[in-house]
Structure 1
Amino acid sequence: MKTFKFILMATAMCIITACQAHDPGEPGGQPNSEQLLTGFIEVELKIDQNVETEAAVNIQAIITEEEKPVDTAQVGKVTFEFWKAGDRQQSWEEQGTLAEAGVYTADTSFNEEGVYYVQSHVTARGTHAMPKEQVIAGNVSEDAVLAAEEAEKNSDVSDMDSMTDMEGHDSGGGGHHH
């Protein structure tokens, strides 16, 4: 009987000690400030709206949650997808590179005049964000811009189709494309 009580006491002590041994940042412990953020991630794309053809163009994805930069450890993947309006089937992608806390960048160029779109694919904190911006390369008339916007609306590739394609897509890199 004494042995049973001793084993029961030893087991209880182990359980109590184990409950207090959690690091606050570990699962099961007290949440740290990063875990307390409950808002959705926000991604702001920064790129010049009008660019020259064949010139290096820099794009940034600024990733925040509740107006604070998302910690690098919380960001799974950042890619930028580019395509000429109405021709998403011929898109290319560039991998985002960490520039500073919450800011990822990539460079590309546009070899032909026209209306292009860029969309970031950001996976962070269990969320996938895909903001999209329009870029005009070279001298494009207002009528051509309107026609390109209409072609983009009528494109047979949706943003969700693209997201699925990007998960297994290997672009091969490079900066000079259509």
Structure 2
Amino acid sequence: MKKWLLLFSFILLFVAGCANKAEEEELAYLDVKMAVEEKLPANQEVELACLVTYGDEKVTDASEVKFEVWKHGTEDRQMIEGKHVGDGKYVARYTFAAKGTYSVVAHVTAKNMHNMPKIDVVVE
């Protein structure tokens, strides 16, 4: 009887340990913080950037990072590929051709998750 009780206790501890690990993994999520100035110059190349983390880890191997840009009031949207430059930072270079208000969305896929933060910028 003691053997069965010991075996049952071992199995119970093993399952509890697996559940705790699963809970820890569930707490981590893909976080993308935009790093783009809110006011930008027209006709000058600027940096579109975002910082990508998963829990406390800086993501250096995202499967996709693209920046979608469009001027308010238009249907024309552009997708610009972002490149990893270190420490979880992804960057694309872009030139806004005209003054106005634009939306910038970072499309980031990593760790089997997708995140799409959006900001609006004023081009002067």
TM-score, structure 1 as length reference:
0.53
2:105 matched to 1:119?
A: yes
Query: Of 88, 105, 110, which residue of structure 2 is paired with 1:102?
Result: 88
Structure (1/2) with the larger strand percentage: 2
Gaps of 5+ in 1: 1-35, 139-178
Rounded to whole Å, the distance in 2 between the matches of 1:78 and 1:109 is 18
Q: CA RMSD in A?
A: 1.3
Rounded to whole Å, the distance in 2 between the matches of 1:86 and 1:67 is 38
**Dislocated runs of 4+, deviation >3 Å:** none
Rounded to whole Å, the distance in 2 between the matches of 1:112 and 1:56 is 12
CA, structure 1 residues 123+116, in 2 after alignment: closer, same or farther (shift >3 Å)? same
Query: Of 27, 30, 35, which residue of structure 2 is paired with 1:46?
Result: 35
Percent identity over the alignment is: 27
Higher relative contact order (CA closer than 8 Å, sequence separation 6+): 2
Rounded to whole Å, the distance in 1 between the matches of 2:33 and 2:69 is 16
Rounded to whole Å, the distance in 2 between the matches of 1:114 and 1:55 is 14
Q: Deviations over 1:122-141 (max 9, x none)?
A: 01111110000111001xxx
CA, structure 1 residues 37+63, in 2 after alignment: closer, same or farther (shift >3 Å)? farther
